[in-house]
Structure 1
Amino acid sequence: MSDTQGNRRRWYDCLPSSWVPYMELCHISTPAPIFLIYFPHLYGVIYAAIVRNSPVAEVLHMCSVLLTGTIFFSNAAHAWNDLIDAPIDKMIRRTKNRPIPRGAISPLSAFIFALIHAFGAACHLLVLPRDTAICTLPTVLGTTYYPWAKRHTYFPQVVLGFCLAWGAMVGASAMGIQQPWTKGTAICLFLACLFWTVMYDTIYSHMDLEEDIKIGVKSMAVYFQGKAKLLLWFVLVCMISSLILCGNMVGLGRQYMVTTVGGCLASQAMIVQMVDLKDPQNCWWWFANGFWVTGGLIAGGLVSEYVIRSV
């Protein structure tokens, strides 16, 4: 059973029954888990393409390479996370039916599965510049540590934000930006992605708030309980400020400012205002739907700028 889909039929239910637990382990009943990782890579690619005036063929090639690599990495990361989280997942209603806690997959099988997909992701580095392969190390190390973050700190959302947002650096590096982490524009794009992740994952973490408090799981939802909306408004200001700075430093025009900056401000403000942090289903709805809207707006503004400059 999926964490959120109840008894609704999933696309992979038509596969052999022995395969289904592994599909659940990947969390791919929808493409959202893949795009949580892929979107920052895409933003980095388009940002670099704008800066370097890259040809369309090169952009499409790199987007496709990073997408297939992301699929493997996503599968490995989710399997690893579920493996380490299995003792906690057993104690939470929403997650107790995940494949490892319910015994559908053994811990050893999950570990081997994660290794195989990590190897698949690593193979994609062979077609990327050497500097880009090195650039992926912070993401790999951060993702490896992330399952323990909720045991060590009240800010696992920041750890996750770093892991996902670093994809913008990887995407920029793949398109030829040397050491993008030294460029102010890339840093602003990275920070915007980090703040965005903190926002949607803080909302997501409210789904299990009461049980997390009982069993001692740490999160920003736990730390800021009762004041989380104030936190979300503050993080939203940081996110929009980062997007504006990135746009100004690159010299992006009206399309970016209206679509990405204005659109993200409107969509994220509506989410913060409307989400009921005390209602797990409401938190899920705004997380699942708001993610696609905001992610699409960031991509849309960057792509429109690239297209206009390429014409």
Structure 2
Amino acid sequence: MSDTQGNQRRWYDCLPSSWVPYMEMCHISTPAPIFLIYFPHIYGAICAAAIEYQPLSKTLYTCAVLLGGTVFFSNAAHAWNDIIDAPIDRLIPRTANRPIPRGAIRPRDAFTFAGINAVGAAAFLLLLPRETALCTVPTIVGTLYYPWAKRHTYFAQVVLGYCLSWGCMVGASAMDMSKPWTDNSVLCIFLACILWTVIYDTIYSHMDLQEDIRVGVKSMAVLLQNGTKAVLWILLGCMLVLLVVAGVSSDMSIQYVAIAVGGCLTSQALMIYMVDLTVPESCWWWFANGFWITGTSVAFSLLYEYLLRLSQG
């Protein structure tokens, strides 16, 4: 069950009752958690395909494999996060009904579930270049550490941004780009994704601001509080600059800039302006829905550039 969905019926309620808590732990009542991981992967893959003129069949194959791996990785990461967060979740009303805190899943069973899904995600790496498996190591290390970040630093959103955005490097590596972190376009998209994650997850963390302060959980929402929106506007400006630099670095068309920057500016500016950070329901709605235009804008801009280059030979 999503933490804010109340008694609304979910797609997996038709499954056997013993399965439902595991679906809840995966947070997949909507496809948002999967796509927040998947988007950076396909950004890297399509960007590398455009730069290196990779054939369409290979690009489609790679994006399909990355999607399969993303589903399993998302399940494993959410389960791991819920295991480590369980002591904190019990103290916060919004999260106290998650499967582990309410006793629907034992931590040992949740760990087994996370391990099975981690193996499932790793299996998809067998379908990709050998170097791609090595490229996933930073994401794995960051994901393992992330649940503790909110105990250690106010910049847990930056840690999460790094974990998710490294998918750009994984996607580019899957398209046979050697050392993708040395390519300016992929690097700029990676950094832009980090800022994007910080923006939407800081809004998300405002849902529990007072409770987090009470129990001692750290976040950028706790650090910034009433100054959050001012910082988010600055981060959005930096994100847009990075997307422009990504295009310039690889001589991408003006259409890429128009779609990527225009879409991100419209959607993220609207989200920052409209969200009421003092109302948890508003924070949830914009977090769950506000990323779609941004995510698809960057994806379509890179896809357009890739198909344009293929058509020009």
Shorter-chain-normalised TM-score: which range? over 0.9
Structure 1 residue aligned with 2:199: 199
Stretch moving more, 212-221 or 121-130 = 121-130
Task: Give the distance between the partners of 1:259 and 1:285, measured in 2 at CA.
Answer: 24
Cα deviation 1:232-280 (Å, max 9, x = unaligned): 0111011111101001101111221111011111211111111111111
Q: Which amino acid aligns with 2:172?
A: A
Specify the SS of the correspondent of 1:310. Answer: helix
- Please state whether the residue corresponding to 2:226 is helix, strand or coil: coil
Distance in 2 (alpha carbons) for counterparts of 1:269 and 1:25: 31
CA contact (8 A) 2:267 2:291 kept: no
Letter of the structure 1 residue corresponding to residue 108 of structure 2: L
What corresponds to 1:42 in structure 2? 42
Tell me the residue number matched to 2:126: 126
Letter in 1 for 2:271: I
**Partner SS for 2:222:** helix
Which residue of structure 2 aligns with residue 83 of structure 1?
83
In structure 1, how many angstroms separate the alpha carbons of the residues matched to 2:249 and 2:184? 8
Counterpart CA distance in 2 for 1:183 and 1:2 is: 38
Poorly superposed stretches of 4+, deviation over 6 Å: none
**Paired amino acid for 2:198:** V
Match in the other structure for 1:270: 270
- Alignment partner of 1:289 is 2:289: yes
CA contact (8 A) 2:53 2:310 kept: yes
Q: For residues 101-123 of structure 1, what are the alpha-carbon distances to aligned partners after superposition, in whole Å with 9 as ceiling and x for unaligned?
A: 00000000000000010011111
Deviations 1:24-46 (A, max 9, x none): 11111111111111000010011
Query: What does the per-residue CA deviation read over 1:159-178, in whole Å, with 9 as the maximum and x for residues that have no partner?
Result: 00000000000000110110
Measured against aligned partners, the alpha-carbon deviations of 1:209-243 in whole angstroms (never above 9, x if no partner) come to 01000000000000001100111011101111110
- Structure 2 unaligned runs (5+)? none
Q: Counterpart of 2:222?
A: 222
Residue 303 (str. 1) matches residue 309 (str. 2) = no
Give 3-state SS (helix, strand or coil) of 1:97's partner: coil
Equivalent-residue separation in structure 2 for 1:2 and 1:129 (angstroms)? 36
1:186 is aligned with what amino acid? V
Q: Which runs of 5 or more residues in structure 1 are unaligned? A: none
TM-score (normalised: structure 1): 0.99
CA distance in 1 between counterparts of 2:213 and 2:124 reads 40
Name the CA distance, whole Å, in 2 between partners of 1:91 and 1:111. 21
Deviations 1:285-305 (A, max 9, x none): 111111111101111111111
Hey, what does 1:95 align to over in structure 2? 95
Spell out the pairing of 1:138-157 with structure 2 (5 A cutoff). 138-157=138-157
* Distance in 2 between residues matched to 1:266 and 1:15, nearest whole Å: 39
Q: How far has the Cα of 1:309 moved from its partner?
A: 1.7
Which whole-Å CA distance do the structure 2 matches of 1:190 and 1:285 have between them? 25
Deviations 1:46-89 (A, max 9, x none): 10110011111000100010000010000000000000000111
CA contact (8 A) 2:243 2:261 kept: yes
Equivalent position SS for 1:86:
helix
Q: SS at 1:127's partner residue?
A: coil
Between 1:216-225 and 1:120-129, the stretch displaced more is 120-129
Q: Which residue number corresponds to residue 27 of structure 1? A: 27
Greater shift in the superposed pair: 298-307 or 220-229: 298-307
Match of 1:16 in 2: 16
Matched, 1:252 2:243: no
CA distance in 2, matches of 1:191, 1:136: 17
1:173-188 alignment to 2 at 5 Å?
173-188=173-188
TM-score for both structures, normalised by structure 2:
0.98
RMSD (Å) for aligned C-alpha atoms = 0.8
C-alpha distance in structure 1 between counterparts of 2:103 and 2:288, whole Å? 27
Larger deviation: 217-226 or 280-289?
A: 280-289
**Residues 122-161 of structure 1: CA distance to partner in whole angstroms, max 9, x if unpaired?**
1111121111110000000000000000000000000000
Percent of pairs with identical residues = 65
For 1:109-120, what aligned pairs fall within 5 Å after superposition? 109-120=109-120
Cα contact 2:203–2:287 (8 A) shared by 1:
yes
Partner Cα distance (2:294, 2:185) in 1 = 20
2:210 corresponds to: 210
Q: Distance in 1 between matches of 2:8 and 2:310?
A: 44
Taking the aligned partners of 1:91 and 1:207, their CA distance within structure 2 comes to 14
